[in-house]
Amino acid sequence: MADHKGVFIYGEISEGKLAPVTLELLGIGRRLADARGEECAAVLIDRKADDCAREAIACGADRVYVVQDAPTEFFEGASFTAILERLCTETAAPAILLLGQTITGRDLAPRLAFRLKAGLVMDCVGLAIDPETRNLIAKKPVSGGNALATYALKDGGPQLATIRRRAMEPFKGDERRQGEIVNVPAGVDASEVKAKRIERVLEESEGPSIENAEIVVGGGRGIDSTEEFEEYITKGLARTLGAGVGGTRGAVDAGLISEQSQVGLTGKIIGPNLYFAVALSGAIQHMAGCSGARNIVAINLDENAQIFKFARFGIVGDYRQVIPPLIERLTELLST
């Protein structure tokens, strides 16, 4: 890896600010760069990227590549891959490139890895530099979370990883940190993007998007009907808390929520401060999507439900009896 140097992170922006996963990427990117004695650079592709560049420096970046003119009408999977490929080959030659294990990162990382002829480990919960080889060592859950595997990436070319939410500590922000902001033109032309976006349908959810929400209320197959899901979860607990709404595959299969709201290994990966798990059993594939939640509160009829193994607080009981008094008390508390 003689001529590959430095750590790149691909930063996502949400509602005009660095997304929580980006702060975590900067944290681990900074530590890996320090371990190699090299620079950490962030790549931001967004119309608002310029506004976030200073924050990225404060949070650990030595350099920020800002791409503001990426055509929004293009399918990002293809256009962002082209932009990142050029940044990693023409503009610079990073040794390591990190992305978030988000819907976006899960789409971009494999495309980039194969294009850069690079090794990639997805969904990492631990990353380190091998002191001898200076290669990336990556730890990730496998078999739906039933085991953990540690991989060493091989020499030659860049090394890629995506990180799971809340698995890595952000860097303590420091406003005085110095860094360089480099504007890079997107330079994507239509011929590079063969897939066309015809329509984008955004969820009409009143709460925040679950990937970035601080509080998420998740419902499972144990919720009786769509009407009850709305009454107790969406317009009940979630509205009271200003929380995002998610659920299990069981809830998707039962038609209680849309597939976009599925949390888990094969759905969204969330990392809220508080996750209310209502009438869901805590299957390992579901927990893979919310193991990063700081605090899990479980409400379940079955005292032996696996969710209680992961929960900090639990109530054994019917959600129909627990949620209304809970909402009442929370409303009181939150107004003081």
Ligand X SMILES: Cc1cc2nc3c(=O)[nH]c(=O)nc-3n(C[C@H](O)[C@H](O)[C@H](O)COP(=O)(O)OP(=O)(O)OC[C@H]3O[C@@H](n4cnc5c(N)ncnc54)[C@H](O)[C@@H]3O)c2cc1C
Window 236 to 295, contacts with ligand X (CB under 6 A):
248-251, 262-267, 279-281, 283, 285-286, 289
From the list 57, 43, 39, 55, the residue with the least C-alpha distance to 12 is: 43
For 73-113, give the DSSP string. TB-HHHHHHHHHHHIIIII---SEEEEESSHHHHHHHHHHH
Compare residues 122 and 263 and give the one whose CB is closer to ligand X.
263
Residue 209 CB, nearest distance to ligand X (Å)?
17
Compare residues 178 and 335 and give the one whose CB is closer to another protein.
335
Strand, helix or coil at 139? Answer: strand
Compare residues 21 and 251 and give the one whose CB is closer to ligand X.
251
CA distance 248 to 290: 11
Is residue 233 close enough to count as binding another protein by CB under 8 A? no
Count how many Cα atoms sit within 13 Å of the Cα of residue 198 in the half-sphere of its side chain: 0
Compare residues 32 and 257 and give the one whose CB is closer to ligand X.
257
Cβ neighbours for 304, distance < 8 A, ≥ 6 positions apart: none
Residues 85 to 104 in contact with another protein, rule: CB under 8 A: 102-104
Residue 115, contacted partner among another protein, ligand X, none, CB below 5-8 A by kind: another protein
Q: Which residue's Cβ has the minimum distance to ligand X?
A: 264
Residue 286, contacted partner among another protein, ligand X, none, CB below 5-8 A by kind: ligand X
State the binding string over 185-214 for another protein (x if CB under 8 A, else -): ---------xxxxxxxxxx-x---x-x---
Is residue 145 close enough to count as binding ligand X by CB under 6 A? no
Please name every residue paired with 315 in a beta bridge, in sequence order, or none if there are none: 299
CA distance 162 to 108: 10
Which pair of tokens denotes residue 312?
A: 């900090």
Is residue 34 close enough to count as binding another protein by CB under 8 A? no
Helix axes 76-86, 103-115, angle to 10 degrees: 50
Please name every residue paired with 248 in a beta bridge, in sequence order, or none if there are none: none
Stretch that binds another protein, among 33-41, 89-97, 224-232, 257-265 (CB under 8 A): 257-265
**Interface contacts to ligand X, rule CB under 6 A:** 220-222, 248-251, 262-267, 279-281, 283, 285-286, 289, 299-302, 305, 318-319
